[in-house]
A and B are shown apart, each in its own frame.
Chain A
Amino acid sequence: MRTRILITLAATASMLFLAGCETWLPGGTVATSTDGSVSMQVPQGWMFTRTLAGANADLLATKDGVLLQALTIEHQELKDPLPNSKRKLTADLSPFEIAEAVIDDMRANREMLNIAVKENTPATVGGSAGFRILVSYDVPQPSGLGISQMRYGTIVGNRLYLVTFLAPSRHYFERDLSEVDAAVSSLVITPSKAPAK
């Protein structure tokens, strides 16, 4: 168990924004990923950046700070395995099966302890059939902070797109959920810009 002092709330390690080379812009506008394949209306009062360290990270937005809430969009090529379970997905999987694989991947993630799946429902994500998963978990000690995470996902072309909202379960998660749902409903994935099969 590694001791953590600073970053205990980040969608992936590649989202660490302290690299210093990111440009942050105010929300209340449509943010488009650098390759143009995905866009979302970022809520007013939030800030976002598109220039992130990880190659698959499309967007990171926050209102009170990335250690208190993080709304991220990322993609994963289907040819690459999921980060924790090493499973590879295929384009013919149903949203149920993709959600199942994503949940299994979370269960294999040692940074997500005491994980509980609260909801797992079909959802339209960026115009495509997808899923919406709500989980709660604890980050490893010494913090032990309780986190809730809403994860939306869909496969378009040869990519898995994931929109993730995570925040401390106490107060922050519920408070911002309706804004996040509205933002996700504005999501547009442009298949022609996403790589073909």
Chain B
Amino acid sequence: MADIGVPQIAPLNIEVFELSAGGVSEKRDDWTATVQSLVAKELARQTGYTPAPPPDSEAAAAVVDEVRAVSALMQQIALNHLVHLMAPGTLASGNKPLNHNVGRIDRILDALQVEGLLFVFVRDEYSTGGRKALMALGFLAGAATGIYVVPRGGFTINTAALVSRDGTVLWFNYAGSGGDMREPEGASATVKMLLAGLPPMQPKAAAVGE
């Protein structure tokens, strides 16, 4: 793998939703903030990478638009991967890992003074009590009538990708839920699943003469 020293965790792309009884999915700012905080803590702890600078810092502000653009592309790459996983036989590469690239990110890395970025994308959805009651009803009614109409439960999409200076996605992974990410244990378990296979960090090679 390219020598990228100690990467930094890019601003997290996390949103958490509540799924109502009738199937209304609504973003919950409080749950989103909780999961962002827990996931950020776990990522830093489990990888040893430097956390993203605060959004209002000079370094972050200088590259906010480009980070947003790269994050949008990284999200697209992640979703593309998942979509084609659900539809096997639609890609010439078959099951082989795909080579992806987000375009050179020199400007971002120079501003942040790192050689690699870890992008994490999470969309998580939790059912309300009413929704869970309906799911239970669906099973019960199905058992009684032979017709099962069970509303779907909340979905989870978790992806992570390590990107180098030339934009190459060096490593990519996706994971389901390791538990309720609004709780420390759930966040920790999910992050552990997500980071499975992450190549070990290598200190940047010393320059000649040092």
Within 8 Å CB of B75, what residues of A? 143, 145
For residue B152, CB closer than 8 A to chain A, the reply is: no
Within 8 Å CB of A172, what residues of B? 101
Q: Which of A52-88 contact B (CB under 8 A)?
A: 62-68
Within 8 Å CB of B69, what residues of A? 144-146, 170
Within 8 Å CB of B68, what residues of A? 144
| A45-B92, A171-B102 known; A6+B79 contact, CB < 8 A | yes
For residue B149, CB closer than 8 A to chain A, the reply is: no
Interface size counted on chain B using CB atoms at 8 A: 27
Q: How far is the CB of B94 from chain A (nearest CB, A)?
A: 10
Q: Would you call B92 and A5 a contact (CB within 8 A)?
A: no
Interface string of B87-101 (1 = CB under 8 A from A): 101111100001011
Q: How far is the CB of B165 from chain A (nearest CB, A)?
A: 13
For residue B204, CB closer than 8 A to chain A, the reply is: no
Within 8 Å CB of B76, what residues of A? 8-9, 67-68, 143, 145, 168
Within 8 Å CB of B73, what residues of A? 145, 168, 170-171
For residue A46, CB closer than 8 A to chain B, the reply is: yes
Residues in chain B within 8 A of chain A (CB atoms): 68-70, 72-73, 75-77, 79-81, 83-84, 86-87, 89-93, 98, 100-103, 123, 167
A172 to B68, CA, bound (A): 17
**How many A-B contacts are there with CB distance less than 8 Å?**
76
Determine which residue in A47, A63, A170 has the highest number of CB atoms from chain B within 10 A of its CB, and name it.
A170
Within 8 Å CB of B79, what residues of A? 5-6, 67
Q: Would you call A17 and B87 a contact (CB within 8 A)?
A: yes
The residue in chain B whose Cβ has the minimal distance to the Cβ of A67 is B80
Q: Which of A132-167 contact B (CB under 8 A)?
A: 143-146
A62 to B69, CA, bound (A): 22
Within 8 Å CB of A171, what residues of B? 73, 101-103, 167
Within 8 Å CB of B70, what residues of A? 170
A67 to B77, CA, bound (A): 7
Within 8 Å CB of B102, what residues of A? 170-171
Within 8 Å CB of A67, what residues of B? 76-77, 79-80, 83
For residue A122, CB closer than 8 A to chain B, the reply is: no
Q: Would you call A64 and B83 a contact (CB within 8 A)?
A: no
Within 8 Å CB of B101, what residues of A? 171-172, 175
Q: Would you call B81 and A65 a contact (CB within 8 A)?
A: yes
Q: How far is the CB of B79 from chain A (nearest CB, A)?
A: 6
Interface string of A104-145 (1 = CB under 8 A from B): 000000000000000000000000000000000000000111
Q: Would you call B103 and A5 a contact (CB within 8 A)?
A: no
Q: How far is the CB of B64 from chain A (nearest CB, A)?
A: 12
| A143-B72, A143-B76 known; A65+B84 contact, CB < 8 A | yes
Among A24, A27, A45, contact of B90 (Cβ-Cβ < 8 Å): A24
Could you show 26 A-B contacts with beta carbons less than 8 Å apart? Answer: A5-B123, A6-B83, A8-B76, A20-B87, A26-B92, A47-B90, A47-B92, A63-B92, A64-B91, A64-B98, A64-B100, A65-B81, A65-B84, A65-B91, A66-B83, A67-B76, A67-B79, A67-B83, A68-B80, A143-B76, A145-B73, A145-B75, A146-B69, A170-B73, A171-B103, A171-B167
